[in-house]
Amino acid sequence: MDRSDKPRVVLGVSGGIAAYKACELLRRLTESGHDVRVVPTGSALRFVGEPTWAALSGNPVTTGVWEDVHEVPHVRIGQEADLVVVAPATADTLARAAHGLADDLLTNTLLTARCPVVFAPAMHTEMWEHPATAENVATLRRRGAVVIEPAVGRLTGKDTGKGRLPDPGEIFEVCRRLLARGAAPGRDLAGRHVVVSAGGTREPLDPVRFLGNRSSGRQGYALARTAVARGARVTLVAANTSLPDPAGADVVPVGTAVQLREAVLKAAEDADAVVMAAAVADFRPARYAQGKIKKRDGQEPEPVALVRNPDVLAELAGLSAARPGQVVVGFAAETDDVLANGRAKLARKGCDLLVVNEVGEDRTFGAEENEAVVLGADGSETPVPHGPKEALADTVWDKVVHMLNAG
C-alpha cells in the first residue's frame, strides 16, 4: 500500500512512566497498515527518546511548533489525521486539551483535528479522582472525545488502584473500531452506561470440580469493546474468561450464576442497557462437598442432584419495567428450530431484543466469527451475516441506540 493510502494516525504521547507502553501501541498501529505520526510532549521525551519513536514510526518526530515551520505542522498534522490517540494522557495533557491551550505541537494538533480523538489516561488514583481531572474528562467527553477509563492495578510505586494505562493491545482495538466506523455516528453511546455479561458460569461440585460450559466470552468482550469505542461507560461482568480486559471497561469477575446475578443486578440499577451475553448455568449442584469427592472401591458414585439457578435475564426484564427506557438484551444459543425457539424464548423472558445463534460442537464457541438473527419484541428480525463478533456487537448497539433514542 502506498503511504498516502494508509489511514493516518497521530499518536500523542505525554509525560508519564507508561510512555514506554505506547511503543507497543505504535507497533500494532504500524504493523496493521497505518501511517503513524508520533507527537510526544517535551516531558514524554524524558521517558522515551525521539529515536525510538522515529524508528518505530518511520516518520519524523517533533514536539514543538518551531521546527519545520514551512510545513505548518501545527495545523497540518491534525487536519490530515483520520484518528488522534493520546496514550498515555497525563492529568496535565487532559487539562490543556480541555482548556484549549496550544503551547506545544500535541495541543495544537488536538485543536486542529476534526477526526475521532481518543485519550487513554494514566496517572495516580488521586490525580484521576481529583475534581479538576474529573471535570476536564467530562468536558472532553461532552465534546465527543473518547476518554478510556484507566485500568485498576499496580501503579508506578508500591501502590495499586485505578490509573493504569490499559493494555496497549486493547487501546489498539478501540482505535481500530473507531477507524473502521469512520464518519459513522461514532460516539452514539456517549453519556450512557451499559452492562454486558460475558463468559460461562461454573457451578462447583467440590473444591476441584464444577459444572460448566464452553463459552469463551468473546462475544461479550466484543460487545464491551465496541461500546467503549462508541463512548459508553461499560461494566463488564465476566464469568471465568481468560481474555485481556477490554480497555476502558470496568471488569467485574464472577464465578457462579448466583454471583453473576448479584453483580449484574447491582450494575443494572443505573444502566441504560443490559446485554446478557453470558452462558449462565440453568442448574447447580444441590450440594457442595467441602472436601474432594472420592471414588470408593466397589461402590457406585452418588448421583448429582441439581437445583434451578435464578433466571437473571427474566429478572432484569421484570425490573426494567420500572426503569423507563432501559433496554434489556438476551442471547439464545439454539441447536434446532433456531428462529421458532428464539421467538418463544423472547416472549418467555420478556426482554426487548434477543440475539439468536445456532451452536454446535464446532460452531460459535470460542470462534472469532459469528452468525445470528436479532429478534425484537416489536416483531422485527435482523439477520447478521457470518462475520466478526464485533460486527454482530455493532448491530446490537445500533438497535439499542435506536431504542434508547426513541424512548
Q: How many CB atoms lie within 10 A of CB 142?
A: 11
Nearest approach in angstroms of CB 268 to ligand CTP is: 12
CA triple 11-13-14, angle to 5 deg: 155
Rounded to the nearest 10 degrees, the angle between the axes of helix 218-229 and helix 168-181 is: 70
Can you tell me the distance from the alpha carbon of 257 to that of 372, in angstroms, rounded to the nearest whole number? 25
For residues 44 and 71, the answer to whether their CB atoms sit within 8 Å is: no
| Sole binder of ligand CTP in the list 330, 393, 396, 403 (CB under 6 A) | 330
* Alpha-carbon distance values, 233 to 65, 196, 407 (Å): 35, 11, 19
Query: Where do the H-state alpha helices sit in 114-186?
Result: 125-129, 131-142, 168-181
**Options 137-145, 164-172, 327-335, 371-379: segment touching ligand CTP (CB under 6 A):** 327-335
Q: 59, 108, 213, 240: which one is catalytic?
A: 213
Can you tell me the distance from the alpha carbon of 258 to that of 201, in angstroms, rounded to the nearest whole number? 9
For residues 189 and 397, the answer to whether their CB atoms sit within 8 Å is: yes
For residues 12 and 45, the answer to whether their CB atoms sit within 8 Å is: no
Residue 268 in the binding site for ligand CTP (CB under 6 A): no
Nearest approach in angstroms of CB 197 to ligand CTP is: 6
With contacts defined by CB under 6 A, how many residues of the chain interact with ligand CTP?
Answer: 14
Q: How many CB atoms lie within 10 A of CB 295?
A: 7
**Options 187-195, 277-285, 364-372, 399-407: segment touching ligand CTP (CB under 6 A):** 277-285
Residue 400 in the binding site for ligand CTP (CB under 6 A): no
Nearest approach in angstroms of CB 309 to ligand CTP is: 5
| Residues sharing a CB contact under 8 Å with residue 38, sequence separation 6 or more, in sequence order | 10, 11, 13, 26, 53, 54, 56, 57, 59, 61
Q: What is the dihedral of CA 233, 239, 245, 250, to 10 degrees?
A: 30
Nearest approach in angstroms of CB 276 to ligand CTP is: 4
81 vs 353, which CB is nearer to ligand CTP? 353
Q: How many CB atoms lie within 10 A of CB 157?
A: 8
Binding letters toward ligand CTP, positions 295-314, x by CB under 6 A: --------------x-xxx-
For residues 105 and 68, the answer to whether their CB atoms sit within 8 Å is: no
**Which of the residues 222 through 261 are near ligand CTP (CB under 6 A)?**
257
CA triple 106-108-112, angle to 5 deg: 115
The answer to whether residue 357 is catalytic is no
53 vs 331, which CB is nearer to ligand CTP? 331
Nearest approach in angstroms of CB 124 to ligand CTP is: 37
| Sole binder of ligand CTP in the list 118, 278, 327, 393 (CB under 6 A) | 278
16 vs 199, which CB is nearer to ligand CTP? 199
Binding letters toward ligand CTP, positions 49-78, x by CB under 6 A: ------------------------------
Residue 280 in the binding site for ligand CTP (CB under 6 A): yes
161 vs 310, which CB is nearer to ligand CTP? 310
Residue 332 in the binding site for ligand CTP (CB under 6 A): yes
Residue 263 in the binding site for ligand CTP (CB under 6 A): no
**Options 44-52, 104-112, 121-129, 326-334: segment touching ligand CTP (CB under 6 A):** 326-334
**Options 163-171, 213-221, 273-281, 285-293: segment touching ligand CTP (CB under 6 A):** 273-281
Q: How far apart are the first and last CA of the chain?
A: 45
The grid coordinates of residue 205 equal 461440585
Nearest approach in angstroms of CB 405 to ligand CTP is: 23
Q: Which residues are catalytic?
A: 213
Question: Which positions lie near ligand CTP, rule CB under 6 A?
Answer: 257, 276, 278, 280, 282, 309, 311-313, 330-333, 345
